[in-house]
Amino acid sequence: MKKIFFTIALSLVVTTLVMAQKQINLPLIPLPQKLEIGQGGFEINESTVLYSESEDAINDLNFLQAYITDHYGITLKSTIGAKQKKSVSVKRNATMKPDAYTLRIDSMSVRIEGGSGAGVFYGIQTLIQLLPAGKTTKLHVASVNIEDEPRFSWRGMHLDVSRHFFTVKEVKKYLDYLAMYKLNTFHWHLTDDQGWRIEIKKYPKLTSISAYRKGTLIGHYSETPERYDTIQYGGFYTQDEIRDVVAYASARHITVVPEIEMPGHALAALAAYPMLACTSGPFEVGRSWGVFKDVFCPLDVTFNFLEDVLTEVTDLFPGKYIHIGGDECPKDRWKESPFCQELMKRNGLKDEHELQSYFVQRIGKFLQTKNKKMIGWDEILEGGIAEDATIMSWRGYSGGVQAAKLKHDVVMTPTAYCYFDYYQSTSPSEPLAIGGYLPLSMVYKFEPVADVLSADEAKYILGTQGNLWTEYIGDFKKVEYMTMPRMAALAEVAWTAKERKDYSSFASRLSSHTKLLSFLNINYSKAFYDISTRVTPNGDRGINVELLCAYPNGQIRYTTNMTEPNSSSPIYDKKFSYDQSMMLKAALFEGPQMKGNVFSQRYLVNYATGKEIVLQDQPDPEYNKGGGFTLVNGILGNLPWNGNDWLGFQKTGLNATIDLGMARGISQVTLDVLSDSVSWIYPPSSMEVLVSENNIDFTSVGKLDSISIRKAGRQATIKFSKKEVRFVKVIATTAGKIQAGAPGAGNDSWIMVDEISVN
């Protein structure tokens, strides 16, 4: 598992409703590079024949035939031979780039040509997106002329099957979704602390012991006290099942990249084979999330084990890449181990990072003997990168940039854009997620090539991938919910030329495309219709409130009387001003239809709301979306925490002075703070309120020397006898270094604050 990583910005991307963007009405995702829409179209019906003009395209044609049978109940004849009138034909054309295709539809025929089987298949996927999204036997498709090819060669999705297990049938559905969006790489995260999921013939205990845990954490990892169920949980894929999945993927032109985690995230394996650890155990398959200190020890027996495992793995997966993990490996056990210290001395390794590098390089050399390329998370850069290793950059852009500059291939999966286990909506009805906030518009905004890279360096960026960690995703319907439609947005990032990308066009196409998602019974999220709010000061009179929606069509309708908005509620057309607390509910409508979730926001107005505020020390730039005004904007930051409407301080504490505009009789100051130790966030170690009439001479009116925050609570309040003052200063100190044993131990803790209320 990963913490919500702190080196990246999580900003809400919103645009106003009124966006004059050219709309492309066909529900095509990813958007083709060249698309002309003609008049009329073609009807595929029971008498249409499917022709493969070259023998080598017959498998892809048969895929189309099976799709039409499965979804429309008509079985078309499929044959090899020259196309006839009123037909659908496919052909490989070696003069085209392998992944390129053309799709030409007019009233006489549908013709697909592709540079390879993959190219033909992508043409078929585009055709499928043009088919009716409902059961009929007359399949009208619009007349188009499309010339298309991908921007990047690595267009991937990852799936963690360790934290929660998904059946072969479910994995195949996932592959269907990748295929729909022309994604070509499936990163299968097969091993982790909480379960080993691949049969290895030589080590049967990996499946009899490591594949099962005795229970699972209930609720969120940050909750205290921790609670567990006692239900045995697990599963694994036999080698026959793995071969079946690989073949299914291959028929969809998807390469499967298996991940065998090392040296960290290895607890499940150690539970079965404790001799691979630096201490004697016993170990238990992980029941909780997070990072565990017991990891593979760099013993000869461990390398022998891993080489045996990788021998079987490389035999099962024909693709060129093997992912060896490499992330989040605590070095505690290696530091304490006389064996490791001696090994380091013998090999001239200066620290445990170099020992990790030694570990990874040894595995890399072994994979070379199997003609495989090693890929690993960006931690494998630490202590020296292994020859020929490809880097999967997840902790922001920096690992990817560093690797590209070192002339290593890179796949970009930074948390801020590619972690689909993050929340995609701020709605309180959103199902439990790990944290963070990654709305669809943010995924879409992602640019995999960092602008600091030269054109030569940029060539090392192979592409991008969405990652789905499944600590909080216990069933496949939730897998669908978390990935759809963010997978679609990432597919457009990976496929479509940067200059052709346009969120407004994408969102409009997606809205039409959701008919297909419904037809396929896919549980997609409607969060892209979400409404958000922007608040600005209104002089001495509280705040101005605007409503925003990244979706470009429709109208926002609202209520202020606690009732749910409906299609006859007033249309929002200009900003509101509030000088007293107010509850606003709103939703997006297209005609009579409500499109997304109901937005609900309480705006709290007190003496501080909308007033001038000065911060002595600025928040960390990554958590400073709205500046000091965030603390007096009348809005409490969301819980679960999502980076929005919170200010974060790590190096300094908070020192804020509010000018109430005139002397007011006040007797209470409340600071809203967050407590989330998993994300390194702690309540302030102290809080003090000082008041002044002239902004020069301040008098302390109260101080708290410890602040305990209840799980759901978050307010620290100081009450005092009534004072007539104009200036209020609030000082809150951070809790300092994180203690041993807690996530992020040894790092500076954060305080996150979202509101100061003065009454």
402 three-class SS = helix
In terms of CB distance, is 163 or 595 closer to ligand ACM? 163
Query: CB of 432: closest distance to ligand ACM in angstroms?
Result: 18
Backbone angles phi, psi at 573, to 5 degrees: -135, -10
> How far does the chain reach from its first CA to its final CA, in angstroms?
42
In terms of CB distance, is 160 or 430 closer to ligand ACM? 160
In terms of CB distance, is 377 or 444 closer to ligand ACM? 377
Q: Does 188 bind ligand ACM (CB under 6 A)?
A: no
Range 310-329, binding ligand ACM (CB under 6 A): 327-328
Cite the DSSP H helix spans in 138-285. Answer: 168-180, 205-208, 239-251, 267-272
Query: CB of 419: closest distance to ligand ACM in angstroms?
Result: 7
In terms of CB distance, is 2 or 513 closer to ligand ACM? 2
In terms of CB distance, is 394 or 437 closer to ligand ACM? 394
- Give Cα 704 distance to the centre of its chain: 38
Catalytic residue status for 192:
yes
In three-state form (DSSP H/G/I as H, E/B as E, the rest C), the secondary structure along 409-452 is CEEECCHHHHECCCECCCCCCCCCCCCCECCHHHHHHCCCCCCC
Q: Following DSSP, what letter does each residue of 303-363 receive, concatenated?
A: HHHHHHHHHHHHHH--SSEEEEE--S---HHHHH-HHHHHHHHHTT--SHHHHHHHHHHHH
Cite the DSSP H helix spans in 465-562. Answer: 476-483, 486-495, 503-519
Query: CB of 256: closest distance to ligand ACM in angstroms?
Result: 18
In terms of CB distance, is 377 or 607 closer to ligand ACM? 377
Q: Does 421 bind ligand ACM (CB under 6 A)?
A: no
Count of residues that bind ligand ACM according to CB under 6 A = 5
Query: CB of 2: closest distance to ligand ACM in angstroms?
Result: 3
In terms of CB distance, is 413 or 734 closer to ligand ACM? 413
- Give Cα 610 distance to the centre of its chain: 34
Range 436-465, binding ligand ACM (CB under 6 A): none
Residue 547: how many other CB atoms lie within 10 Å? 23
Are the C-beta atoms of 209 and 271 separated by less than 8 Å? yes
Query: CB of 266: closest distance to ligand ACM in angstroms?
Result: 13
Range 40-69, binding ligand ACM (CB under 6 A): none
- CA distances to 294, 545, 554, 576, 629 from 573, rounded to whole Å, are 58, 12, 12, 9, 24
The interaxial angle of helices 117-130 and 58-72, nearest 10 deg, is 20
Range 326-385, binding ligand ACM (CB under 6 A): 327-328, 377
- Give Cα 708 distance to the centre of its chain: 32
String of contacts with ligand ACM for each residue 213-252, x by CB under 6 A:
----------------------------------------
Are the C-beta atoms of 188 and 256 separated by less than 8 Å? yes
Looking at 158, 265, 323, 513, which residue is catalytic? 265
Out of 121, 394, 437, 727, the residue judged to bind ligand ACM by CB under 6 A: 394
Query: CB of 541: closest distance to ligand ACM in angstroms?
Result: 46
Nearest Cα residue to 648 out of 754, 572, 741, 518: 754
Distance, in Å, from the CA atom of 690 to the CA atom of 545, rounded to the nearest integer, reads 30
Distance, in Å, from the CA atom of 677 to the CA atom of 749, rounded to the nearest integer, reads 9
Query: CB of 469: closest distance to ligand ACM in angstroms?
Result: 6
- What residues contact 99, with CB distance under 8 A and at least 6 apart? 115, 116, 118, 119, 122, 149, 150, 153, 184
Which residue's Cβ has the minimum distance to ligand ACM? 2
Distance, in Å, from the CA atom of 549 to the CA atom of 527, rounded to the nearest integer, reads 10
- Give Cα 698 distance to the centre of its chain: 46
Query: CB of 395: closest distance to ligand ACM in angstroms?
Result: 8
Looking at 60, 160, 192, 645, which residue is catalytic? 192
Are the C-beta atoms of 272 and 206 separated by less than 8 Å? yes
Catalytic residue status for 265:
yes
Query: CB of 653: closest distance to ligand ACM in angstroms?
Result: 30
Query: CB of 464: closest distance to ligand ACM in angstroms?
Result: 14
- CA distances to 55, 350, 424 from 642, rounded to whole Å, are 53, 39, 10
Looking at 199, 259, 327, 328, which residue is catalytic? 328
In terms of CB distance, is 1 or 367 closer to ligand ACM? 1
Put residue 45 in one of left, alpha, beta given phi > 0 → left and psi -120 to 50 → alpha: beta
String of contacts with ligand ACM for each residue 591-630, x by CB under 6 A:
----------------------------------------
Strand partners, 716: 671
Query: CB of 189: closest distance to ligand ACM in angstroms?
Result: 9
Q: Does 2 bind ligand ACM (CB under 6 A)?
A: yes
In terms of CB distance, is 291 or 635 closer to ligand ACM? 291
- Give Cα 381 distance to the centre of its chain: 22
In terms of CB distance, is 2 or 478 closer to ligand ACM? 2
In terms of CB distance, is 165 or 394 closer to ligand ACM? 394
Interface residues toward ligand ACM, by CB under 6 A: 2, 327-328, 377, 394
Catalytic positions are: 192, 265, 328
